[in-house]
Amino acid sequence: MAAASSPRPAAPLRILTAVPVCDGHDSAVTTINIELARHGLEVIYLGYHQSASAIVRAAIQEDVNVVGLSSYNGGHIVFFKEVADQLKKSGNGDIPVFGGGGGTITQADARVMKRQGTDRIYFAGTPLDQMMGEIKRAYARAAKSNARFKGDRAIARAITIAEGTAFVGGVLRPDSNVAKQSNKSGHKTPPTRKKSFVVGVAGPGGAGKSTLIDELTSRFLRANPTGRIALLANDPSHPDSGGAILGDRVSAIYAQNDQVFFRSLATRGSLTGLSAAAPAAIDILEASGEFDLILVESVGVGQESDPFRIFGKGPKLVDATLFVLAPYYGGLIQLQKIALLNGADLVALNKCDHAMAHTAKAEIQARLNQNGKGQQLHPTTAAKHFDPGVDALFAAIAKLGDLPLSAGGEKACQMEVRS
């Protein structure tokens, strides 16, 4: 309503929402998420049944303005305190925590929770417009460099500053080269650093890119127990409000591992399939010297998109590209239209447990053969335990990127079970 017609800020407020452990549903927070996005906020949704440590890790890596918790099953006094305490203990006490719980949280509970570090509680019956207005007024703040930030928070703040630099007065700068701004973030490049292998992941919406990326993450963790992997997940901003629901962390089971850095990016008007800040975010992750592998997931792409510049329009953003399809792509003529199949280094047919998969394998491989580049199709079922197709795909990525594998790591990565 009013939010849609009001001027958009240069950097939308970012909020992490989650439902604590033992809460069995997310119907209430889903409603709130939609309302927050409708009012121009970027919502990073973590999902339900989340631990305090998972919420704190996500808040740090996403560099959010605030954490919002929805609790209906009791335990809120202890849980909210634990989240606030962990943020403070880790040096990130500047990230406030608020929440609500319908009729579960009483006024007396709220007074105790505020004394323990919760910023505010919303009760049943609070008008949504009132809630949205208060959240925007209370938690919007400019992202500035902070030398006290360390580790993942320093990397996260550098990316936040890069996001803001890509926009002036809420308007996208098409020529924005924000990589040079990363030195102003407070994040220092180490004297020696490992070389990161960067893989861009594209494909139509619904192909299962996020789940496949999570399974590849699990293989990396098994194969390289001392290395780190970074994930950049791009999701579209709403063209009306400028808000966004960034939900890829819901599928990121293995992002709860400290070896994983996960950052959600909203496109904020960019029409390339990536945030305008994505090139700088990649540079920042590479410059940190911490990551062996960086996976960059684009927004679901159509037939013409080239989010990673693989066809020579400017420098390539990634070292290799993975294009992911599902079996229900619409027929041979649709395959002929997809330009990225010409240039992809790796092609995966996901959801191969689908009835149409057998035909799809033959048609896609025939399409790849026409390219004359020796491209091999990788059939995968990312939602399946012990999927050998995902094992083979990870092995192909590791070979392309010359990724370091620990002794026995290649065998161990094939023993992963999706939990």
| CB atoms near residue 316 (< 10 Å) | 16
The answer to which of 93-107, 204-218, 354-368, 403-417 has the lowest mean pLDDT is 403-417
Q: How far apart are CA 159 and CA 316, in angstroms?
A: 20
The residue-averaged pLDDT of 372-383 equals 96
List the chain domain ranges: 8-139, 197-413
The length of the chain, given as a count of residues: 419
Which is higher by pLDDT, 19 or 409?
A: 19
pLDDT at 4 over 50: no
Residue 61, classified by CB atoms within 10 Å of its CB into exposed (0-12), middle (13-18) or buried (19+), is buried
DSSP 302: -
Return the CA Rg of the chain.
22
CA distances (Å), origin 215, targets 1, 141, 386: 40, 36, 10
Question: Cβ(52)–Cβ(81) under 8 Å?
Answer: no
DSSP states along 104-140: SS-HHHHHHHHHTT--EEE-TT--HHHHHHHHHHHH-
Residue partners of 293: CB distance under 8 A and separation at least 6: 196, 197, 199, 220, 227, 229, 230, 397, 401, 403
Among 311, 283, 314, which Cα is nearest to 296's?
A: 283
Among 74, 12, 57, which Cα is nearest to 38's?
A: 12
Question: Cβ(324)–Cβ(348) under 8 Å?
Answer: yes
CATH 1.10.20.10 for the 197-413 domain, yes or no: no
Within 179-291, residue ranges assigned H as helices are 209-223, 278-288
The residue-averaged pLDDT of 88-101 equals 96
Q: State how far Cα 296 lies from the chain centre.
A: 9
Confidence class for position 11, pLDDT limits 50, 70, 90? confident
Q: 0.75 exceeded by the pTM?
A: yes
Question: Cβ(47)–Cβ(16) under 8 Å?
Answer: no
pLDDT at 58 over 80: yes
Strand partners, 245: 43
Q: How far apart are CA 234 and CA 248, in angstroms?
A: 9
Q: What is the mean pLDDT of the chain?
A: 88
Q: pLDDT above 90 covers what percent of the chain?
A: 75
Q: pLDDT above 70 covers what percent of the chain?
A: 87
pLDDT at 35 over 80: yes
Q: What is the pLDDT of residues 300-309, one digit of tens each?
A: 887 778 899 9
pLDDT at 357 over 60: yes
pLDDT of residue 301: 82
| CB atoms near residue 415 (< 10 Å) | 10
Superfamily assignment of 8-139 in CATH?
A: Cobalamin-binding domain (3.40.50.280)
Structure tokens at 258: 């400290």
pLDDT of residue 26: 79
Q: How far apart are CA 249 and CA 42, in angstroms?
A: 14
Question: Cβ(12)–Cβ(242) under 8 Å?
Answer: yes
Confidence class for position 2, pLDDT limits 50, 70, 90? very low
Q: What is the pLDDT of residues 318-337, one digit of tens each?
A: 999 999 999 999 889 999 99
pLDDT at 118 over 70: yes
Q: How far apart are CA 190 and CA 154, in angstroms?
A: 13
Q: What is the pLDDT of residues 231-267, one digit of tens each?
A: 999 999 999 999 999 999 998 999 999 999 999 999 9
Q: What is the pLDDT of residues 402-419, one digit of tens each?
A: 997 764 444 444 443 333
The residue-averaged pLDDT of 132-141 equals 95
Instruction: Name residue, tokens 């594998």.
Output: 405
CA distances (Å), origin 158, targets 43, 194, 367: 19, 19, 41
The residue-averaged pLDDT of 83-112 equals 95
The answer to which of 60-64, 209-213, 313-317 has the lowest mean pLDDT is 313-317
Confidence class for position 192, pLDDT limits 50, 70, 90? low
CA distances (Å), origin 235, targets 30, 46, 225, 266, 345: 17, 14, 29, 5, 23
8-139 matches 197-413 in fold = yes
Confidence class for position 193, pLDDT limits 50, 70, 90? low
Handedness of CA 31, 35, 38, 44 (dihedral sign): negative
pLDDT at 294 over 90: yes
29: region left, alpha or beta (phi > 0 left; psi from -120 to 50 alpha): alpha
Helix (H, G, I), strand (E, B) or coil at 28: helix
pLDDT of residue 302: 72
Residue partners of 373: CB distance under 8 A and separation at least 6: none
pLDDT of residue 403: 93
Q: State how far Cα 32 lies from the chain centre.
A: 20
pLDDT of residue 10: 57
pLDDT of residue 8: 43
Instruction: Name residue, tokens 């293995």.
Output: 254
Q: How far apart are CA 226 and CA 345, in angstroms?
A: 27
